[in-house]
């Protein structure tokens, strides 16, 4: 995987956390799905991204060492889109 690059700063980001836990929102049709990725942070502006996800898994496989999961959204809320 290529190292992410911060567009405004034009710098390579640094890996600041491996095994960063994220999950999608719980839906009425089922439980959340989880992924582990790596958090990358720009050394100049502090912007960060999570990338490099492996295979998804269910909540039964989450361990306390993973920490609290970041719940991501699939799209911006309506009030932000306007």
Mean pLDDT of 38-64: 94
Of 29-33, 36-40, 41-45, 48-52, the range with the lowest mean pLDDT is 29-33
Which residue shows structure tokens 């912007």?
A: 47
What are 57's strand-pairing partners?
34
What are 49's strand-pairing partners?
40
**pTM confidence score:** 0.81
Largest CA distance in the chain: 42
């Amino acid at each position: 995987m290529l190292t992410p690059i911060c567009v405004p700063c034009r710098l390579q980001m640094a890996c600041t956390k491996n095994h960063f836990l994220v999950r999608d929102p719980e839906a009425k049709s089922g439980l959340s799905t989880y992924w582990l990725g790596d958090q990358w942070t720009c050394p100049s502006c502090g912007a960060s991204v999570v990338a490099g996800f492996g295979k998804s898994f269910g909540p039964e496989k989450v361990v306390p060492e993973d920490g609290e999961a970041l719940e991501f959204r699939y799209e911006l809320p309506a009030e932000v889109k306007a």
